[in-house]
Amino acid sequence: MTTATVDDKQRVRLKNVKPGVVLAVQENADGTITLAPVKADMPEPSPPAGLKPFTKEEADRCWGKGSKHELDALESHCAALPVPPPEE
């Protein structure tokens, strides 16, 4: 049997459990706690039928070919903005 310590945010790290797994918690009369994985009832989400990503040809057909001057100016302006340092 292994032990685990609860941190100040009431979290316990379990080595053999992958992130995102949902566990059911059962508090027993003798003071022990039982954890059991919960199986999702919903299937994996899938994209709506008939939708697919645009190809370059489809995008050109919808929005027209050629240079988009206003978008080029916006892109160059955004590229010139300073990049903030990463937050810790």
What is the average pLDDT value for the chain, to the nearest integer?
A: 80
DSSP character at residue 11: -
φ, ψ for residue 26, nearest 5 deg: -125, 120
Given CA atoms 85, 86, 87, 88 in this order, what sign does their dihedral have? negative
Q: 49 pLDDT band (50/70/90 cuts)?
A: confident
The predicted structure's pLDDT at residue 22: 87
pLDDT at 27 exceeding the cut of 90: yes
C-alpha torsion 66→68→72→74, nearest 10? -160
Q: What is the pLDDT of residue 66?
A: 64
d(CA 38, CA 24): 6
pLDDT tier at 20 (50, 70, 90 boundaries)?
A: confident
Q: What is the pLDDT of residues 67-81, one digit of tens each?
A: 666 677 777 888 888
Q: What is the residue type of 9?
A: K
Distance CA 40, CA 26 (A): 18
% of the chain surpassing 90 pLDDT: 10
- Write down the pLDDT at residue 60: 75
Question: Could you give the 3-state DSSP secondary structure of residue 24?
Answer: strand
Give yes or no for residue 30 having a pLDDT over 90: yes
